[in-house]
Structure 1
């Protein structure tokens, strides 16, 4: 029997605080500072306190079991705390020698940024409820309140006015961080607890008093120079995927002509230019041009960058040209497969950001030179590479923008469709001229201007900061990026710099970015907005500043990225501010640095790393800077068993984020138990094949995100999951609430709930009495993914489906059906389902579900459904006849993949707002219902592996155009536009048009007659 009960008692916390103190004494005792003649006396007192704690714990457990009053025990715990305070005094004056005063000097360059991060850190510590925090909670609160007062007063004034005081503020703030973190991490914790902390508190109080006296002397109505001018809030703008392109019209037309005309031989069109000149943007513009898309049989885009893996890039190209997502073993010759796939086809391959000739040779070797008019677009900063890869066409060296074009870009960026006011025109054009024709610079400066007041004085300030920049090198561009960075408010800077966590050219899902921001503690909740709202504003403001590029392709999740130069800047700045660092085979010694940053990424290479230089996880090294880490990610080669057995995490007590790639290590029981003791963890991603969450995970009460790659095993969640009270997102390959292989009865406490849980993926469900109501314990779920094992509900005489209608917050649901019949769901006789979907559902994905028209009608009645995806779905009778009551009121995207649908009929109001129809491998469907052409909102029909539907789709497109529509598209795989070719297809199109005209004439005649 599994019992989930978490008793709470008044004295338990005091006992845990006492235990934490005793552990610091025993495990972090400074041997060089103890009076050895007093050692045995000290150990005797510690032993007596341990026995006292043991007695109290036993008494507390017994009274809790018997539901007796614990008042007497609580009084005993207070006596215990008094004894601890007495021991602290004796440690200071009797048992320990006072060390020399620790010297702390602020090591970063951006003091206000550090104060912001320290404020966030102290807040998170106080919210963590960890026992190590309770030991010094009062001191942490005092430091936090003092720094809040200093920040609130001082950040409004120019640092130069009180330069010496500012320096002391930064030094003591850094000292407070170092001392508090050292106590929690048990890094000379006892010395810092007894000696350093009281001294630091005294310094902070003195500075606070000094600042208060200054504030009292300043007249309330006086005006002082402001350190960071208050700016108007950045307006939230409509973000599009198209990067604003000004100029380059002639270059665009020239490129399109070179791609679609000219010799049949394979040709290479190279685009060169300095960083930020718009090479990639221009290449993408012509790559996605409709005339170019329709001209080539196959297209692929491949971003190369400085470090590359030839095989991975060739696989990427192969998967694009084949519209697949295949993975190849090492023995397969990917280059040969790609060559065969391209042979005889007219293809367009873009190789973006190639840095050397060897890379060019490696990637182009598999590309066949067949006389089909194929083309390669090459973008590079290196002219040597461009001329090395030259074909029939000379490289295009991208010119700089003219001052007029730069001004046009800035004006559009700052004012949209409106014109610049006359009073700003002159200074605006001078700013544009100072951009020296570099689109990246113009765009960044435009972002600065857009965020400031539309006044001449504000614009003159920007102009004056630009006047000394001569943009002739990457260093100069960095200055402009830094100007944009300096204009960010302090609370946005760490969130922006964090983007360097990912490699260059990585497109990051916005939700993933926000998840890391939250768990890293980079976003602050205020009285006016919660964390989720704050993160949206953070991201929108960064995008509006042009430092971050937004992507939002139709039907895809919103994503973003940063320019290579911006990435370089972020990495340099993050290292400078000790925010972020990488450890790789190129510099393994960096793992032993005396001053670790907050966040460390390790790329493990077994040929270069070894036990001697991989010290971060070496518990035998008594003092190492890794103890002060807040975030750690390890990936790379698989670690050898001998080395992995020597790795430990127990000393990394401050960790908030831990990512251990399964390719590096599958975590075993012993290391899992150590992870369970890291009670500051907010984010955990690991690979493991254990059957259930270990008992030590009960300590992870601050955990918000849990990713587990558990291979093909199914992990049992209960009862441990109830202890993860702050858990928001849970992702596993396969998990179940209960052990599916046992019939052992299950007992769950009535109050067991996870009210913070928002995402749960992937559950394995089958019918049981306990499963029926389990989702009521996750009332705020927003996203749910599960595999449903076939279960018959004898009460309803239908196949069982969990009741979800009470999940009022759920807006995304994916369910995969697993039939008990080896032949599959198509062999089932009764296909009826007892669906109970929540009315708020917006996205529904059903995989391998056998459905009837009635089941589809149930789905159609969901009032807020916006996207419906049916994959490998068997529809009873291969027919879907939608009645008048079957109306998808808000459906915008309908996607069918391998759906057994042969006949499809629907009414005028069935899909009133649909925008996109996707049909993939729907081979039984002979044509798309023509009345889709009468739906004004429909913009896209996309067909993949459905050639028999192309004619009807194009007829619908022609009909829409005849009715005056000009935005309708018919797309194939990879978003390539489809069009009719050949006289027979043209005749079919004209015939369809003529039939429509005759039909309309007859209908109008009948209406007139009536």
Structure 2
């Protein structure tokens, strides 16, 4: 993780360099830090531009030296806050690191000079040894096509289709999911064999070379082209002439680069005779680039029955599985999580070992470990996706492995963590959040992260990691001293190694009190629900990330206020009394204070100290609903970085307060009081938040608004209202918002029996939720919701019918109703029947029962 360490350290030094020169902390060392910063940027560029093999010998030293220099600076920053600062000692310590960096830079220059003189080849110049040693025709080892029959039919349709144009058939999916197996079975299918004059299989691989690809094409074509003699022709000429005028199908297996694709396409003739190219890749960008006009065929994981069938075929051949092994066998098959190679590896062990319940139970205990231990080739399949990652994505990929197995990771949380860790390298005008979203989408496109849920606007809401990829991430992260996952019993030897790690993620048992005082650990993420005492926190003085959101403290742990380097703090507290010293956390970017045990009937509100307004680095503040922000007591600096402010109590949107948070994008307000008039909350001033995209309002405590007078900037995209009792005519205000995409109306957000929409309203609305409403008559037309995709109606017991025009909205994909209103259920079903009659088989109606859905 040398590159991640460099990016993080560069950010710290940039803050120091651009800080006020009157600050005495680094006044005598600023020139030294500027020089060190230049060297760090040089090393960053080296890792970005030079091949992996050239830098391997230095990566560990770069990482360790960078960590050590970072420790020195952050330690002295903490000591300065404690008024225990020695500038001479800082200069002396930094000089040691600078000397080591100079030595490393000297070795880097030697490598760069070697490249210039030709002694070392760039990665793209390495011959494709793996390709030359592979079979140039399709491999002959068998792969059972269990579960792929539907995929095969889908692939054969465009392969044998009537179109005369040269078409590309892309197959996309994660490593090991069966892309090559599917392509191989299509390639060898009798119909395909008969349909094409020439069939060619080329494995491209990660470290491809154009010459190797052309060579494989040439050798493969010769098998079909014995009458054509090569007369000193170049390989590309031979390939082109041999294919000219003949129908061919070429499989380009394991494609990693658009460059490789361009190199092949320039030599292939397009005679408009129905020739085809089949492509397999883990990278969606490559698939889209190669087949911009063709639909991508994405490989899905095998389901439980398909997995079990494949396991049985591999273990028992033509025989049946003994009844006493079936339950444990099905469990083993499910544990392979739909990956065919994992099932094949496990089947190999089961078929050669004892076929007893005791033996199979032993394997079932840890299928992932068995797979990765007994099949080095499969481990390499998974590792290949990681090693192909650019440097900036590697720490983000390994970090996802720190979450528990089968955990659905909220992207909003993951992004905040990546930013706090210093993984994000900004470019152009993009902020941390936009950069992180791009990183995540890139990991998804590379089949390294799975999307579990998307938002109505298409962005990722939650994600997860396949078990086997997670195991790979955990192993690599531990090797790199990047992250230690404590998800099992830890002995003393492992405990000592943990003390050298940069980050720890705790899933199994609380051992934090047993870890000795250490300056290396920067992150603690805690997934347990019990914690003996927060006192140990002071042993980790240089923490950046502290996440105890799953653990409930009785009171706010004041020990965290000594962690001056904190950037991310997430806690769960029964009661909160935050002292003014919260302002010591001047580096804090994210503050999350939750309370799982707070009842909605509780009316006591706790206020932050006024020092809150001095925490200028804050970007995201998420509070439980009984925490209120302090009033402004005098002039202070605006919190220009603040983007998220959620669930604050009785928040008054005065012009003065809103000027303090000019760049706010998400705002959530919880009003729980009957002692103020409605006008005191000044919600009409929200129009002055020109960056606001999401707003949520919850009203409790007997307030019955009159003339609510809500006003928003045109930037608003998501609006959620609870208990607002708005008049139905007020909905026209929301319908006029030009960028509104999501509207959620819960708990009598609107009061009235009739809602009539008008032309030109809700131009971009994609998601509409109405829950717990007394609405009886809804009058609308399809043109009033021109972009609606999802309609959800829950507990609308007085509404007898969904307007017929709703079913005519061309973009509509889903209607969801609950079974509390049979009339709405029948209305939704009629709309579905009409959609099916129009040929829209993709349209869905979801009927929600108490604990599940019926489709």
TM range, normalised to the smaller chain?
Answer: 0.5 to 0.7
Deviation of residue 678 (structure 1)?
A: 2.1
Q: Which runs of 5+ in 2 are unaligned?
A: 127-143, 153-173, 190-195, 217-250, 267-277, 283-341, 349-370, 599-603
**Superposed displacement of residue 425, structure 1:** 4.4
Indicate whether 1:427 and 2:174 are aligned: no
- 2-structure distance, mates of 1:810, 1:907: 29
The Cα offsets for residues 633-659 of structure 1, whole Å up to 9 and x where unpaired, read as: 23425344xxx27x2433423211011
Q: What is the aligned counterpart of 1:601 among 505, 521, 524? A: 505
Distance 2:760 2:51 in 1: 65
CA contact (8 A) 2:743 2:765 kept: yes
How far apart are the structure 1 equivalents of 2:622 and 2:114? Answer: 55
Is 1:748 the equivalent of 2:633? yes
Equivalent position of 2:471 in the other structure: 568
**Which residue is 1:722 aligned to?**
613
> Aligned partners of 1:854 and 1:732: how far apart in 2?
32
| 8 A contact 1:792–1:799 mirrored in 2 | no
**Equivalent in 513, 532, 540 of residue 433 of structure 2:** 532
1:502 corresponds, among 374, 383, 403, to: 403
Counterpart residue number, 2:768: 894
Write out aligned runs for 1:147-158 (5 A): 147-153=40-46, 156-157=49-50
1:634-713, aligned counterparts within 5 Å? 634-640=526-532, 644=533, 647-661=535-549, 663=551, 665-668=553-556, 671-672=557-558, 674-689=559-574, 691-710=576-595, 711-712=597-598
Relative to structure 1, the CA distance from residue 625 to residue 963 in structure 2 (aligned partners, 3 Å threshold; closer, same or farther) is: same
Are 2:99 and 1:202 aligned?
Answer: yes
Q: Is the 8 A contact 2:114 2:120 kept in 1?
A: no
Note the C-alpha offset of 1:907: 4.4
The correspondence for 2:12, drawn from 124, 147, 164, is 124
Q: Does 1:916 align with 2:790?
A: yes
Q: Distance in 2 between matches of 1:501 and 1:445?
A: 32
Instruction: Using the TM superposition, give the Cα deviation of residue 954 of structure 1 relative to its aligned residue in structure 2, in angstroms.
Output: 2.5
Q: What is the deviation of 1:847?
A: 1.0
Indicate the SS of the match to 1:550: strand
Corresponding residue number in structure 2 for 1:864: 739
> 1:172 deviation in Å?
5.2
- Using the alignment, how far apart are the partners of 2:63 and 2:752 within structure 1? 74
Q: Given the superposition, is the C-alpha separation of residues 533 and 134 from structure 1 closer, same or farther in structure 2, using an over 3 Å criterion?
A: farther
1:49 matched residue in structure 2? none
1:812 and 2:694 correspond: yes
d(CA) in 2 for partners of 1:650, 1:635: 20
Pick closer, same or farther for the CA change 1:444–1:510 going to 2, 3 Å.
Answer: farther
Find 1:512's aligned residue among 413, 417, 422: 413
Q: Among residues 761, 767, 775, which one is paired with 2:658 in the alignment?
A: 775
How big is the shift at 1:498? 0.6
Distance 1:455 1:561 in 2: 35
Separation in 2, partners of 1:535, 1:735: 31
| Residues 919, 527 of structure 1: alpha-carbon distance in 2 compared, 3 angstrom cutoff | closer
Q: How does 1:126-141 map to 2 (within 5 A)?
A: 126-127=14-15, 136-141=29-34
Q: Give the Cα separation in 2 of the matches to 1:182 and 1:423.
A: 64
Q: CA shift at 1:728, angstroms? A: 1.0
* Alignment match of 2:813 (pick from 909, 924, 939): 939
1:798-853 CA distances to partner (integer Å, 9 max, x unpaired)? 996452111121111111111427xxx5xxxx753211122221111111121212
**Larger deviation, residues 192-201 vs 484-493:** 192-201
Shift of the alpha carbon at 1:173? 5.0
**Partner secondary structure for residue 663 of structure 1:** strand
- Does the aligned pair in 1 maintain the 2:651–2:669 contact within 8 Å? no
TM alignment of 1:973-992, pairs within 5 A: 973=848, 976=853
Relative contact order, higher structure (CA 8 A, sep 6+)? 1
The 1:723–1:451 alpha-carbon spacing in structure 2 relative to 1, beyond 3 Å, is farther
Pairs within 5 Å for 1:128-527: 136-153=29-46, 156-157=49-50, 173=66, 176=69, 193=90, 196-205=93-102, 207-208=104-105, 225-227=121-123, 248-250=147-149, 401=181, 404-405=184-185, 425-427=201-203, 446=254, 448=256, 453-455=261-263, 473-474=371-372, 475-527=376-428
Cα distance in 1 for partners of 2:668, 2:454 equals 24
How far, CA to CA, are the matches of 1:213 and 1:401 in structure 2? 45
1:485 aligned counterpart, secondary structure:
helix
Q: Distance in 2 between matches of 1:486 and 1:123?
A: 25
Q: CA deviation at 1:876?
A: 4.2
Question: Residues 248 and 146 from structure 1, CA distance in 2 versus in 1: closer, same or farther, beyond 3 angstroms?
Answer: same
CA change 1:697–1:408 in 2 (3 A) is: farther
2:668 aligned with 1:785 = yes
For each residue in 1:106-160, what CA deviation from the matched residue of structure 2 results, as whole angstroms up to 9, or x when unmatched?
Answer: xxxxxxx314423422422542669766675444433332233245357645577
* Alignment check: 8 A CA contact 2:555 2:573 kept: yes
Conserved in 2, the CA contact under 8 Å of 1:662 and 1:709?
Answer: no
Equivalent residue, structure 2, for 1:359:
none
1:615 aligns with 2:514: yes
CA deviations over 1:905-932 (Å, ceiling 9, x no partner): 2246422222222111111111122222
Report if aligned partners of 1:727, 1:757 keep a CA contact under 8 Å in 2: yes
Cα gap change, 1:566/1:856 in structure 2, threshold over 3 Å: closer, same or farther? same
Q: Tell me, in whole angstroms, the C-alpha distance in 1 between the residues paired with 2:252 and 2:486.
A: 31
8 Å CA contact retained: 1:969, 1:977: no
Displacement of 1:598: 0.9
Give TM-score scaled by structure 2 length. Answer: 0.66
Relative to the length of structure 1, the TM-score reads 0.56
Change (3 A) 1:649 1:864: same
Query: 1:493 Cα shift?
Result: 0.9
Distance 1:753 1:735, change over 3 A: farther
Q: Secondary structure at the match of 1:659?
A: strand
2-side partners of 1:167 and 1:585: how far apart? 27
Does the aligned pair in 1 maintain the 2:202–2:252 contact within 8 Å? Answer: no
Q: Is contact 2:640–2:663 with CA below 8 Å preserved after alignment?
A: yes
Query: 1-side partners of 2:48 and 2:837: how far apart?
Result: 63
Q: Do the aligned residues in 2 keep the contact of 1:813 with 1:845 (CA within 8 Å)?
A: yes
Name 2:131's counterpart in structure 1.
none
CA distance change for structure 1 residues 887 and 698 in 2, over 3 Å: closer, same or farther? same
Is the contact made by 1:630 and 1:654 (CA closer than 8 Å) also made in structure 2? yes
Q: How much is the aligned-residue C-alpha RMSD, in angstroms?
A: 4.8
| Ranges in structure 1 where 5+ consecutive residues have no aligned partner | 1-112, 231-244, 254-274, 282-399, 410-419, 434-442, 464-468, 617-623, 740-745, 979-1010
> What is the alpha-carbon distance in structure 2 between the residues aligned to residue 575 and residue 164 of structure 1?
18
Q: State how far apart, in whole Å, the 1-side matches of 2:707 and 2:52 are.
A: 72
Whole-angstrom CA distance in 1 between matches of 2:96 and 2:682: 66
| 1:626 alignment partner in structure 2 | 518
CA distance in 1, matches of 2:575, 2:442: 43
Alignment size in residue pairs: 651
Secondary structure of the corresponding residue to residue 654 of structure 1:
coil
